[in-house]
């Protein structure tokens, strides 16, 4: 079958099971958009307000659905507007295929209108990228891009398609591709050793990251925890993997993690780290980290083993398979002393129970009105930490948050993508006045698409996280973090065609949440104090000994 | 510590960029690099000499192996491999120094490839360190040009061959 390049793209998208893409049209992708127009029954295209919104939407869609997110942008500024979103997906290992148009191959390298070398620009923030200069290679390249994005440690892949390639015609082969890359042998005969180490442990602790969710190993982690009575602590990326009401789920550890999660990790004699990369935010001082315990590190990416923390042993391969094998071979055992010790740590909390209108109570109140499968997106900063500390996550893939890159402005696009992935069901987006200001233009998308987003703005009038650091480490010199803006968020919501409410106490918040309708976005502007802090806090490079609780 | 890594890569745009970025991202300077086609036109072979500590060597090796374009990688050392570098040197000479230089070039196993009244060009093959040493030895004369090929290496025996098996 003879097809042009744009038609080949549509065929490959359909073959790869893609039914929703996010993007923004432009001169160098006119051919692609012409085919999208003709194929709207097969592929839904969601136009956002800005390419950054589109790429975050593709990211959120991928995290919530487990499928590969797809974003399309034109050449030049369209392509460069994707960069933050691609880097965000790269740092959090999110499967994504970014399609960019470019000037015709004859115009490449001539500083033509809207020409940038996006392959060169994105090289260090993609798993791989391609420019297609020969129509005969287009089909294979696109299929390869999907395979690379979704295999092994997942990540973003960019395919740059010059305009003439979109128009040229060649035979569509409907071909299958395999990666030529030599596969790593999964795990050698190391299981025996790992089982021995686990059996000898009196205080085992399972430390989970996003690799659990990416590797569909949520059930296995839960089973292992029960079998060896090991509490589980999470990096932020792993948080929704195990229900928050499971008694051995200690929540997030690290810089702003719960005291019990960090303390238990530091007291453990064995940490089984699964699908985590020991990021500095989650680990703190990597030298002090191993003072008491040994580490078994299980990860699909061999480069992560011994990268940040020296391990007793590494098991490299599919985390689900490795955990299943360990569960099979390890005997049941209980450690009542260890569990009691952990229970004691649980009593220490940075937060009090009260009825004040503070971030904890706001997030818990919102949480009460949501379902187990409600997708929650956040922006970046204090509100993000409060959300991951206090929201009661039940189902996996319900948290969309920027972990590695810490991208303010990530949340709106991600919430839109997550909402599409969850059949346009109610989706919560926690943000703050600072982060929200970055990409609030996506209100236009949410309204047009009639998305039932509940946008909760924790509005303190300051850039709270930076202010918190200025307060703690810079003698309260609050340089450029007091915003003094006059933005009226509920009115802004109305201007975009959405509903908006301002609430100043829990009663008002409950009232708004009770009357929520799922017919479009609704903003709830929660006015909170500017000196609310995220606690506990382990200062950068510190250990549990340095933790600040109150 | 000096270390040499050989990689077999797909013969496609930008591969060299991707490979060298693994070094530069980690603040690791490349001392020598050579690239050439292989017996299979789909693949090229790159040999890189650099300096780092043990931790970084392991990281760089694993990160290289992870690149989509890299099919095989091998860490060369003196025990498992043979390495060579080629150099062209052009010296300014006069009637007095010319004959001495020609003798010296022969002593180093080199070969004169071009000469005139006031210059002589020659080539020498040896290990990377030896080539550096030889260049130093000629510094008492006026060196006009030096062009080094970059190190290339091959493993001893047939056990650790750096090749793609399809």
Residue of chain B nearest A120, judged by CA positions: B14
Q: Each residue of A376-389: pLDDT tens digit?
A: 999 999 999 999 99
At A138, list the tokens: 């287009």
pLDDT at A182: 52
Predicted pLDDT of residue A183: 54
- Say yes or no: B21 contacts chain A, CB-CB below 8 A: yes
| Cβ-based contacts under 8 A for chains A and B | 36
Dist. CA A127–CA B67, nearest whole Å: 8
In this prediction, residue A459 carries a pLDDT of 98
Confidence of residue A540 (pLDDT cuts 50, 70, 90): confident
Domains of chain A: 2-171 (3.40.50.970), 191-346 (3.40.50.1220), 359-527 (3.40.50.970)
Is residue A450 a contact partner of residue A519, using CB atoms and an 8 Å limit? yes
Q: For residue range A415-458, what is the model confidence (pLDDT) as tens digits?
A: 999 999 999 999 999 999 999 999 999 999 999 999 999 999 99
Between chains, do A123 and B14 touch, taking CB under 8 Å as contact?
yes
Average pLDDT of the residues in A73-102: 98
Look over chain A and give the mean of its residue pLDDT values, rounded to a whole number. 95
Q: Are A16 and A177 in contact (CB under 8 A)?
A: no
| pLDDT band (50, 70, 90) for residue A545 | confident
Average the pLDDT over A179-206 and give the result. 80
Establish if A127 touches chain B: CB-CB under 8 angstroms. Answer: yes
Cα-atom radius of gyration of chain A, to the nearest Å? 24
pLDDT of A181: 63
**CATH class as words, domain B2-81:** alpha beta
Q: How far is B74 from chain A (nearest CA, A)?
A: 14
Domains of chain B, by residue range, sit at: 2-81, 83-152
A191: confidence class by pLDDT, cuts 50, 70, 90: confident
Residue of B nearest to A144 (CA): B68
C-alpha radius of gyration, chain B, whole number: 18
Length of chain A: 550
Q: How far is CA B109 from CA B87, B103, B106, B132, B149, in A?
A: 12, 10, 5, 15, 17
Higher pLDDT, residue A413 or A484: A413
Instruction: Give yes or no for residue A287 having a pLDDT over 80.
Output: no
**pLDDT band for position A279 (50/70/90)?**
confident
Contacts of B18 in chain A (CB under 8 A): 123
* Mean pLDDT within A321-335: 93
Q: Which helix (H) or strand (E) holds A270?
A: strand A270-274
Residues in B touching A150 (Cβ below 8 Å) = none
In CATH terms, are B2-81 and B83-152 the same topology? yes
Q: Would you call B26 an interface residue with chain A, using a CB distance cutoff of 8 Å? A: no
Distance from CA of A306 to the nearest CA of B (A): 9
* Least Cα separation, residue B126 to chain A (angstroms): 33
Judge: A180–B71 Cβ closer than 8 Å, yes or no. yes
The alpha-carbon gap from B21 to the nearest alpha carbon of chain A, in Å, equals: 8
pLDDT value, residue A223: 97
Q: Is the pLDDT of residue A508 over 70?
A: yes
| B83 CA: distance to closest CA in chain A (Å) | 26
**B83 phi and psi, to 5 degrees?**
-130, 155
Confidence (pLDDT) at A550: 80
Lowest mean pLDDT among A28-32, A463-467, B11-15, B61-65: B11-15
Q: What is the mean pLDDT of residues A91-114?
A: 97
The whole-angstrom separation of Cα A177 and Cα A215 is 22
Is residue A284's pLDDT more than 80? no
Residue A93 tokens, joined: 């290992």
- How high is the pLDDT of residue B139? 94
**Shortest CB distance from B68 goes to which of A131, A181, A302?**
A181
Q: Please report, for residues A44, A93, A108, A456, B58, the alpha-carbon distance to residue A157 in angstroms, rounded to integers and kept in the order given.
A: 21, 11, 21, 32, 25
Of B18, B59, B62, Cβ closest to residue A123: B18
Interface test with A, best of B15, B66, B68, B164 (most A CBs within 10 A): B68
Helices A259-267 & A336-346 angle (0-180, nearest 10): 140
Closest-approach residue (CA) in chain A for B12: A130
Full pLDDT tens readout for chain B, 166 residues = 999 999 999 998 899 999 999 999 999 999 999 999 999 999 999 999 999 999 999 999 999 999 999 999 999 999 999 999 999 999 999 989 999 999 999 999 999 999 999 999 999 999 999 999 999 999 999 999 999 999 999 999 998 888 887 6
β pairing state of B43-51 and B2-10: antiparallel
Give the catalytic positions of A in this structure: 51, 113-114, 163, 465
pLDDT band for A207, please (50, 70, 90 cuts). Answer: very high
CATH topology of domain B83-152: Alpha-Beta Plaits (3.30.70)
DSSP per-residue string spanning A55-121: HHHHHHHHHHHSSPEEEEE-STHHHHTTHHHHHHHHHTT--EEEEEEES-GGGTTTT-TT---HHHH
A119: nearest CB among B14, B21, B63: B14
Report the first-to-last Cα separation within chain B, whole angstroms. 34
| Model pLDDT, residue A156 | 98
Please give the residue of chain B at the shortest CA–CA distance from A152.
Answer: B66
Give the percent of chain A with pLDDT over 90: 87
With cut-offs at 50, 70 and 90, classify the pLDDT of residue A541: confident
């Amino acid at each position: 079958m003879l097809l042009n390049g744009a038609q080949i793209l549509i065929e490959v998208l359909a073959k790869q099971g893609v039914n929703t893409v996010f993007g923004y049209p432009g001169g160098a992708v006119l051919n692609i958009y012409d085919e999208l127009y003709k194929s709207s029954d097969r592929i839904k295209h969601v136009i956002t307000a800005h390419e950054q919104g589109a790429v975050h939407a593709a990211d959120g869609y991928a995290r919530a659905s487990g499928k590969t997110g797809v974003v399309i942008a034109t050449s030049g500024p369209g392509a460069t507007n994707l960069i933050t979103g691609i880097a965000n997906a790269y740092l959090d290992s999110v499967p994504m295929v970014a399609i960019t148009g470019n000037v015709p191959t004859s115009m490449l390298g001539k500083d033509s209108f809207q020409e940038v070398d996006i392959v060169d620009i994105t090289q260090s923030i993609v798993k791989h990228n391609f420019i297609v200069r020969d129509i005969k290679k287009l089909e294979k390249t696109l299929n390869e891009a999907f395979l690379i994005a979704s295999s092994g440690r997942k990540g973003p892949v960019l395919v740059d398609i010059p305009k003439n390639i979109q128009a040229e015609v060649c035979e569509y082969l409907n071909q299958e591709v395999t990666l030529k890359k030599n596969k790593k042998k999964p795990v050698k005969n190391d299981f025996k050793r790992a089982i021995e180490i686990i059996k000898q442990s009196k205080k085992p602790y399972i430390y989970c990251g996003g690799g659990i969710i990416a590797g569909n190993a949520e059930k296995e982690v839960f089973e292992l925890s029960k079998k060896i009575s090991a509490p589980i602590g999470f990096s932020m990326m792993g948080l929704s993997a195990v229900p928050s009401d499971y008694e051995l789920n200690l929540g997030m550890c690290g810089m702003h993690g719960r005291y019990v999660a960090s303390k238990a990790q530091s007291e453990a004699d064995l940490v089984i780290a699964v699908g985590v990369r020991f990021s500095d935010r989650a680990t703190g001082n990597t030298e002090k980290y191993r003072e008491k315990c040994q580490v078994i590190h299980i990860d699909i990416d061999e480069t992560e083993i011994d990268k940040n923390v020296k391990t007793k042993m590494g098991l490299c391969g599919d985390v689900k398979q490795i955990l299943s094998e360990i569960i099979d071979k390890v005997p049941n055992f209980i450690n009542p002393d260890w569990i009691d010790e952990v229970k004691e740590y649980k009593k220490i909390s940075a937060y009090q129970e009260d009825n004040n209108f503070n971030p904890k109570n706001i997030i818990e109140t919102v949480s009460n009105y949501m379902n187990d499968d409600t997708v929650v997106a956040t922006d970046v900063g204090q509100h993000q930490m409060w959300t991951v500390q206090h929201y009661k996550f039940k189902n996996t893939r319900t948290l969309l948050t920027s972990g590695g890159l810490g991208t303010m402005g990530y949340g709106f696009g991600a919430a839109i993508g997550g909402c599409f992935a969850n059949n346009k069901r109610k989706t919560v987006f926690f943000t703050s006045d600072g982060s929200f200001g970055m990409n609030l233009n996506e209100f236009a998308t949410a309204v047009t698409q009639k998305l039932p987003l509940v946008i909760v703005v924790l509005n303190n009038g300051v850039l709270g996280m930076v202010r918190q650091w200025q307060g703690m480490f810079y003698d309260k010199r609050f340089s450029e973090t007091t915003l003094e803006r006059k933005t009226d968020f509920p009115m802004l919501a109305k201007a975009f065609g959405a509903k908006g409410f301002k609430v100043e106490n829990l009663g008002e918040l409950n009232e708004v949440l009770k009357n929520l309708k799922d017919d479009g976005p609704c903003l709830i502007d929660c006015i909170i104090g500017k000196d609310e802090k995220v606690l506990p806090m382990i200062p950068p490079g510190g250990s549990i000994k340095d933790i600040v609780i109150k | 510590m000096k270390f040499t890594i050989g990689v077999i890569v797909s013969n496609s745009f930008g591969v060299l960029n991707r490979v060298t970025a693994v070094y530069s991202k980690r603040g690791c300077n490349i001392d020598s690099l050579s690239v050439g086609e292989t017996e299979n036109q789909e693949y090229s072979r790159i040999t890189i000499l650099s300096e780092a500590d043990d931790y970084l060597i392991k990281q760089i090796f694993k990160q290289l192996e992870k690149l989509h374009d890299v099919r095989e990688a091998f860490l060369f050392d003196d025990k498992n491999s043979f390495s060579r570098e080629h150099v062209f040197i052009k010296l300014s000479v006069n009637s007095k120094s010319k004959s001495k230089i020609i003798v010296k070039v022969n002593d180093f196993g080199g070969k004169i490839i071009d000469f005139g009244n006031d210059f002589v060009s020659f080539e020498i093959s040896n290990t990377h360190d030896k080539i550096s040493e030889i260049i130093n030895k000629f510094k008492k004369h006026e060196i006009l040009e030096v062009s080094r090929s970059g190190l290339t290496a091959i493993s001893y025996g047939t056990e650790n061959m750096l090749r793609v098996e399809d």
